[in-house]
Amino acid sequence: MDFYRILVGLKKIFEMLRILTFLSLIFLGISCENASKSNENMTQSASKTTTSEASFGIVIHGGAGTILKENMTDSLEIAYKEKLTEAITAGHTLLKNGATATEAVTATINILEDSPLFNAGKGAVFTHNETNELDASIMDGATLNAGAVAGVTRVKNPINLAEAVMSKSQHVMLSGTGAEEFAESQGITLVAPEYFYTEGRFQSLQRIKEKEKTQLDHDSAVLLEEFNYKDSKFGTVGCAALDKHGNLAAGTSTGGMTNKRWNRIGDSPIIGAGTYANNATCAVSSTGWGEYFIRAMVAYDISALMEYKGLSLQEAASEVIQKKVPDLGGDGGIIAIDHQGNVAMEFNTAGMYRAHMNAEGELVLGIYKDE
């Protein structure tokens, strides 16, 4: 009898243990599910934080050349700095509010194109025939899509037309009257050629023509081109940006070279020379002696040195601007930003109009070599 009672007691104990084990397993499953959801929520929260606090930045130039402080009045220097600040602040504000790098580049360059201070848009220099021929290009680093226009004479903001070529056509570069026909079909603002007339640019052309008569052998095209370049006021404008989505873009706009002939086209509308952007490396806009920047494929070469040799943006920019271009006989500069927000503003001339703003809104502004 006692033995039987012991067996019954043991049976009840085992049944209780089974129930407790079952309940423990249920409780453990619920705890794991809650922990998983908690981790998922934390991950999503961290992702949102990273997105909202993503690094971004913007850098611009207004041309490089023989820009010397002793040749600059105080009022003109202030005017340049105010316009550079206005342009880069506009682009930075767009990026801060979530705009794409392409949108920021276009809007920033518009402000520089609308100013007579720079050799782009309104301030474009004159050709030998006393006309204005404008070039521009833009590139999206996320898709490697690009657009460019060359030799347009009635497009108020050539960078807008370049963007339309990139986003609304199957082409990369359009030129002349055909580009203007496309502009009209896309609702791009066209103006009369007289819009681009500024007295200062026109007088610069007259001075160069006068020097041609007295100082140059007109049979030497090489000497003529070199003379035109060195006596031309540079003012090509450009912008490169990194947006909060991690995408890069770059754009460049110019009136070309004072006294240029034969529908000459420089590097500004040429993808890889005047403009290049690739999310894997950097976004670059060039300014300088276009013929040499084309031969050196300056903008792309900086990206290639980063991609294939592992150089930093600054190392690559210095290699190309301080060595490769001068070795060929050219000069000028670039502005660039990489996929991490690092910036380069490299030039081998006496000055370059330039500005940079990082994600914190800190402004770096410069004109002369030692700034």
Q: What is the pLDDT of residues 27-50, one digit of tens each?
A: 555 444 544 444 444 344 333 333
Is the whole-model pTM more than 0.85? no
Phi (first) and psi of residue 311, to 5 degrees: -75, 155
- Domain extents in the chain: 1-53, 56-368
pLDDT tens-place string over residues 290-343: 999 999 999 999 999 999 999 999 999 999 999 999 999 999 999 999 999 999
**Looking at domain 56-368, what is its CATH homologous superfamily?**
(Glycosyl)asparaginase (3.60.20.30)
Q: What is the pLDDT of residue 213?
A: 80
Q: Verify whether residue 236 is a known catalytic residue.
A: yes
- Predicted pLDDT of residue 18: 62
Of the candidates 236, 254, 258, 281, the residue annotated as catalytic is 236
